[in-house]
Amino acid sequence: MRFLIIFLFFFSASLFSSEYIYNSPVGVEIKEGEFANWQQALIKQEEVVNALVQSAGVANVNTRYLNRLIYEASPYLLRHSLNPINWYPWQVDALAKAKRENKLIFVSIGYSTCHWCHVMEKESFTKKSIAEVLNQDFVSIKVDRELTPDVDQYFTRALELTKGSAGWPINAILTPDAEVVWLDSYLSPESFVKVINQLSKIWQSTPQKAKQVAKNLAGQLRIKNNSAGITWHIEKSEQAVKTLIKNLDTDHGGLSGDRKFPNASALQLLIYQYQLTPDPVLGRHIKHFLNQLASKGIRDHVHGGFYRYSTDTMWHQPHFEKMLYNQALLISTFSKAYQVFKDDDYRLLVIDTINFVQEWFKSPEGGYYSGIDADYLGREGLYYVFSPQELASIDPVTLNQFSWCDFNTTALKFPCSFSSVGERDSARQVLYSAKSELAKPHIDKKVITAWNALMLSAFVDAYTAFKDPRFLSQALDLAKIIKDNHIDQSGTLIRARYLDKVAVDAVINDYAYLASAMFTLFQETQDQEWYQLSVKLYQQGSSLFGKNYQGYQGIGNSELDDGELISAHTVLVSLGAKLRRYGEKNSTRLTQQLSQLQQAAMVSSGGNFSTHELFLKDIHGVFDNKQFFAKGKGQIQLSLHNNRVTLSIQLAKGWHINSNQPNQKFLIPTKLHFKGIGGSNVEFPEASIKTLGFNQSALSLFEGRFEISANIDVTNELGGKVQLNLQACSDKVCLLPEKLNFYIKDK
């Protein structure tokens, strides 16, 4: 056996590039067999690892180190597999080791496309002197926040509690019982060394001090039910909308603040509020927000797509990383905005963003990668900016199609908006060609289930808005990829894939987003496969409702806060309500989930936008152009042409609605009502006269495919609503009457 280990060691070493010598973590004894296995794992992916290290700008020294992160399905963790630190991934073994050896735990959380994560790695985590302290006195754990968002959420909340805000990397020191003692974000190497040395000394001399600090902080982090005895009222959501509107930046668009995020969930709540109660001022604010996103520096006017956020209030200076979830959520948002405001620029933006996603994010296997790095050759934004020499080589007429912003305080510039409506496409192509010879920035090639589910929903939303069959085809292709590659043979959903590796188990985000996306796809295709999968995922995801990585905790502000995404708990409850309307027997579970959301919303604050939209829709319904009724047995598509509105209705075989003039007085007639618009010359189809099993008298009814139409007169620029009242029945049972509302705005 010893001969075999020695053979493996030299065999693996012979396959490495001769310029590198690999050592085990500083000051740590690693068994020969274990280290040989690490080397074998490196051999299989050395080209990938070298590219990751190079893209991060980590020094290319001859002597490298190797640790157990080499096994992980994450480019972020693989980068750190060459650090001299004895890193562990987030797992039970690492936590057990700390407890067994009575050592403090150092946890560092980041992600592959994070600029300051790269900086801290270069400055601190590659340093032998820092590794010596960590390896001797701590159990060090590296976390990819995108793989374990539940872990990240807990520590983000802790950092917000202690510092007032949070950003990455998040660095924390825990007791051996995994309770937080200290947290911070990026630290200089001098500050970091000071912290770990001080806490190491405190733990060795007076550990009770550290334990007491940890106990106090744990108590503050524990979610308390402060809503006991408080009755939920919809006024809470109505007030939340008013507060959101007050927080809008009326000058520059978006939410007020030093940094500007796209805030898709806030925009969608505002759009719904506008449909619910059309208001000219609110309409202008929404369009200003949307137009700033479309025209300013947060959008890449050369390659397409959106950056993650803007570092200034005017949307000029982006942080140059691009995330799949931003693209997906904004495709959905602009698709919905088009249906309300009928602005063709929104349609063009959606098409452009989808084309960008297809070119940059799509993997050869069909799934979509997670993000594109802000850094390029070790410098933030370098791929996207133009030097004076590059600008001098471009025709001034082309340059003048854009407004140019200075990048920080350098001579570099980038196009931060269009300055005219001239030959945008040709001007853009010139700039694109100027960058086409460069290698692309680092792309995080993790295919994350939840984010791909958001992309699936985005394709469906785009199809619903524009009826372009390409978008439905893309949605179906992605749905099949996820079903085949992200659900294992036992039916368990996985969180992500990276190259040929399967990452950790799915979390509630994956279940909620994917279940919702599958249900939406089912509504468009009526394919029962997607419906059954949606129901199964909803049931599985519900087992994670109200839990964090430590187990049951309850629902708090962190669980409701959309952040840059959408609250998974809210998405799951929203889907549960839809499934109940389709006849699923989930009332007990749904009532409990909804109650938990309401209790948390009563005492929470912040960005709970999707939760309040859910509550408002529960009271007032939806206003989508395409709606479903009769437990999914009927669907209605609204269209508007030359001031004539048409409701195209389709009912499943064996189902009908009463005609506008039913033969019996006790039956509910089908009627159209108009609010905010004038309606006339309503035309109903010719009714069928039939006798059905539950009634011996002849019935007047509509069935199959048919249309109801009317002339409308939109009396104001705000538009108005059409309400369709109906009652659906089969030959055995009649359902409760339904009212479906549609928002109409003429171009």
Per residue, the 3-state secondary structure of 496-543, as one string, reads: EEECCEECCECCHHHHHHHHHHHHHHHHHHCCHHHHHHHHHHHHHHHC
**Which pair of structure tokens corresponds to residue 56?**
């991060």
pLDDT of residue 552: 52
Q: Is 277 helix (H, G, I), strand (E, B) or coil?
A: coil
**Burial call 390-408: b when 16+ CB within 10 Å, e when fewer:** ebeeeeeebbebbbbbebe
- Look at residue 2 in the predicted model and tell me its pLDDT: 45
If you average pLDDT over residues 510-516, what whole number do you get? 98
pLDDT at 417: 86
Structure confidence at residue 387 (pLDDT) = 93
Q: Quote the pTM value.
A: 0.92
Q: Which residues contact 45 (CB under 8 A, 6 or more apart)?
A: 70, 78, 499
What is the arithmetic mean of pLDDT over 620-641? Answer: 93
CA distance 644 to 746: 10
Share of the chain above pLDDT 70, in %: 93
Res 198 pLDDT > 80: yes
Q: Are 296 and 314 in contact (CB under 8 A)?
A: yes
- What is the per-residue pLDDT for 493? 96
Q: What are the backbone angles phi and psi of residue 116, rounded to the nearest 5°?
A: -75, -20
Residue 169, preceding peptide bond in cis (omega within 30° of 0): yes
pLDDT tier, 220 (very low <50, low <70, confident <90, very high otherwise): confident
pLDDT at 219: 84
User: Between 642 and 542, whose confidence is greater?
Assistant: 542
DSSP state of 306: B
Q: What angle is formed at CA 54 by the lines to CA 297 and CA 116, rounded to 5 degrees?
A: 50
For the segment 555-613, what is each residue's pLDDT rounded down to a tens digit?
666 777 888 999 999 999 999 999 999 989 988 999 999 998 998 888 777 778 999 99
Domains defined for the chain, CATH in brackets = 2-221 (3.40.30.10), 233-319 (no CATH), 384-437 (no CATH), 626-744 (2.60.40.1250)
- 198 to each of 95, 121, 192, 632, how far by Cα in Å? 22, 21, 10, 63
pLDDT at 557: 65
The mean per-residue pLDDT over the stretch 424-452 comes to: 92
Phi, psi at 675, each rounded to 5° = -135, 125
Please name which of 217, 264, 692, 639 lies closest in space to residue 465, comparing C-alpha atoms. Answer: 639
Largest CA distance in the chain: 94
Q: For residue 256, what are its two tokens?
A: 């007020």
Antiparallel, parallel or unpaired: β 688-692 and 695-703: antiparallel
Alpha-carbon dihedral sign for residues 684, 650, 623, 625: negative
pLDDT tens track for 228-249: 567 889 999 999 999 999 999 9
Three-point CA angle 42, 45, 49, nearest 5°: 85
Question: Quick one: DSSP state of residue 69?
Answer: G
pLDDT of residue 564: 92
Provide the pLDDT for residue 227: 56
Residue type, 372: I
> Per-residue pLDDT tens for 688-707?
998 876 667 888 999 999 99
Separation CA 536–CA 511 (nearest Å)? 9
Tens of pLDDT, residue by residue over 272-315, are: 999 999 999 999 999 999 999 999 999 999 999 999 999 999 99
Q: Are 567 and 560 in contact (CB under 8 A)?
A: yes
Q: Average pLDDT over the chain, rounded to whole? A: 90
Residue 633 has pLDDT above 90, yes or no: yes
523/563 Cα distance (integer angstroms): 28
As a whole number of angstroms, the distance between CA 303 and CA 315 comes to 18
3-state secondary structure of 302: coil
